[in-house]
Copies of this chain bind each other. A is one copy, B any other.
Amino acid sequence: MSILVVGSVAFDTLKTPYGERQKILGGAATYFSLSASYFTDVRVVAVVGEDFLPANEAVMNQRGVDTRGIQHVAGTTFHWTGEYGENINEAKTLNTELNVFERFEPQIPAEYGDTDFLFLANIDPVLQTRVRDAMPNVKLVGGDTMNYWISGHRANLDRMLKRVDVLLINDTEAKMLAGDNGLPRAARKVLAMGPRALVIKHGEYGATIFFRDGEFAGGHHPFRAPALPLDEVRDPTGAGDSFAGGFMGYIASQGEISRRVLKHAMFYGSVMGSFSVERFGTERLQSLSREEIDERFEIFRELTHLD
């Protein structure tokens, strides 16, 4: 099965307690597609500028990612500058140069028309809804958003929420979206806005999936995947998108969309997030093997299972 991700391909300049990097390959769609590429066929729709070189695109192609949907336009690629301090889980944005991303108009290539799964990375919810409408036959739609859209573009976001099956956001975003500090109650409120399942990411403590009543038969309890306790989080950039790539990629690789599959997908999401943060940028995600991924899956099982 194939999956299409629509979102940012960018350059990141960043500093962490372990070092700094200038204009390395980044962006939500980049992390997502590299991560998902270990599970299924991946296609990307994004926009880049003239400074985006063949060598940059080759990073994705080497993992088999279909980049025909990356539009090359005049101008400069989206460039994010940020740093992480003592609390490695909190990014401090120093500069956001949207550049060509500011006028991003996703175009779905005709060759992508038969795509089975769709992931709407964090972009304007108007664009997310437009892409969703252009792909009426996909089996499952995942989506991300952020505080900027929650607080300032609510009507557009509400329309988008009605069109995604699984929303992946963090604790703060879930509480903000629901206007409720009780996490399970916030989850129920968000599920009432549209999604059939909600993945709430807890940073270094993992993530919990909540299911809307009656959806994905097999029980109504939430399910939690831990994050791996790590000594060195060298660069947390892209951890959430790598999680989403492992989560959606695994689902797309399975013959059914069941609660059982979604639970395993939560573990694969956490596995890919844990790899991503071990090195700067996309470095670790470029050089994995499926064996390494499955070995780490077993470590997650040992970390959580009683018997």
- A111 CB to nearest chain B CB (Å): 36
Say yes or no for A219: interface residue by CB 8 A criterion: yes
- Known A202-B205, A205-B202, A205-B205; judge A231-B302 contact (CB<8 A): no
- Nearest residue (CB) in B for A220 is B302
Say yes or no for A92: interface residue by CB 8 A criterion: no
Inside 8 A of A183's CB, which chain B residues have their CB? Answer: 229-231
- A110 CB to nearest chain B CB (Å): 39
- Known A86-B181, A182-B232; judge A305-B304 contact (CB<8 A): yes
Copies of this chain in the oligomer = 2
Say yes or no for A301: interface residue by CB 8 A criterion: yes
Inside 8 A of A229's CB, which chain B residues have their CB? Answer: 183-184, 187, 208, 222, 224
Inside 8 A of A223's CB, which chain B residues have their CB? Answer: 302-304
- Nearest residue (CB) in B for A17 is B181
Inside 8 A of A185's CB, which chain B residues have their CB? Answer: 231
Q: Which residue of B205, B263, B303, B307 is within 8 Å of A221 (Cβ)?
A: B303
Inside 8 A of A222's CB, which chain B residues have their CB? Answer: 229, 303
Q: How far is the CA of A307 from the CA of B307 in the complex (A)?
A: 12
Say yes or no for A139: interface residue by CB 8 A criterion: no
Provide the A177-216 mask, 1 if CB < 8 A to any CB of B, else 0.
0000111110100000000000000100110100000000
Inside 8 A of A303's CB, which chain B residues have their CB? Answer: 221-224
Q: How far is the CA of A263 from the CA of B304 in the complex (A)?
A: 9
Say yes or no for A142: interface residue by CB 8 A criterion: no
Inside 8 A of A182's CB, which chain B residues have their CB? Answer: 230-232
Which of A183, A222, A229 counts the most chain B CB atoms within 10 A?
A229
Query: Can you list 9 A-B contacts with CB-CB less than 8 angstroms, sorted by A residue number?
Result: A183-B231, A184-B231, A221-B302, A224-B229, A224-B303, A260-B307, A264-B306, A301-B306, A305-B306
Say yes or no for A26: interface residue by CB 8 A criterion: no
- Nearest residue (CB) in B for A304 is B304
A185-B231, A224-B229, A301-B306 given; name 7 further pairs at CB < 8 Å.
A184-B229, A221-B299, A222-B229, A222-B303, A267-B306, A304-B305, A305-B305
Say yes or no for A238: interface residue by CB 8 A criterion: no
Say yes or no for A143: interface residue by CB 8 A criterion: no
Inside 8 A of A86's CB, which chain B residues have their CB? Answer: 181
- A199 CB to nearest chain B CB (Å): 13
Do residues A184 and B299 form an inter-chain contact, with CB atoms below 8 A?
A: no
Which of A205, A222, A303 counts the most chain B CB atoms within 10 A?
A205
Say yes or no for A226: interface residue by CB 8 A criterion: yes
Q: How far is the CA of A299 from the CA of B219 in the complex (A)?
A: 11
Do residues B205 and A302 form an inter-chain contact, with CB atoms below 8 A?
A: no
- Nearest residue (CB) in B for A86 is B181
Inside 8 A of A187's CB, which chain B residues have their CB? Answer: 229
